[in-house]
Amino acid sequence: MAYATAQELSDRVGSDALAAVSDRDGDAVIEDEAVTHALDDASADIDSYLAARYTLPLAAAPAAVKRVCIDIAMYHLSGNRTTEEVEKRYKNAIAWLRDIAKGVATLGDSPAAPSGGGASFAGGERLMTRTDLKGGF
């Protein structure tokens, strides 16, 4: 499941820009299949970073995840026609995902994956109680 839709991608970058990077047959029309593959690939990239800290798939993608999905998808679609802006957005997206994987950044209120570990304490019966100490020392 992709974290962003083709419509969200088109709304964000504009249909002309999307057609320019997705057109595979030279007719200046958005290629739906190429867009779908790019969004799926971007979502898989995102999941590879989120998997260590979050239960996947995310029930609902936060706005930041949608934005990052769109930026990564545009990078994948651009291929050898990548602009500086597209490359910069891609690098920023990957840096943010790395911060999430390290625990430096979070997705906000999305439920974190169970850690599988943690500290616990166990002990035997108490040796002293308040009653034992009433008589003083």
On whether residue 24 sits in a domain, the answer given is yes
Which tokens in the block code for residue 38?
A: 């790019």
On whether residue 129 sits in a domain, the answer given is no
On whether residue 32 sits in a domain, the answer given is yes
Distance CA 74, CA 17 (A): 9
Instruction: Please give the C-alpha separations between residue 6 and each of 59, 87, 107, 118, in angstroms, as whole numbers.
Output: 19, 20, 22, 41
Distance CA 126, CA 108 (A): 42
On whether residue 44 sits in a domain, the answer given is yes
23's CB contacts (< 8 A; 6+ apart) are: 29, 30, 31
On whether residue 43 sits in a domain, the answer given is yes
CB 59 within 8 A of CB 107: no
Q: What is the pLDDT of residues 40-89, one digit of tens each?
A: 999 999 999 999 899 998 888 899 999 999 999 999 999 988 999 999 99
Counted domains in the chain: 1
pLDDT category, 14, cuts 50, 70, 90? very high
20's CB contacts (< 8 A; 6+ apart) are: 28, 81
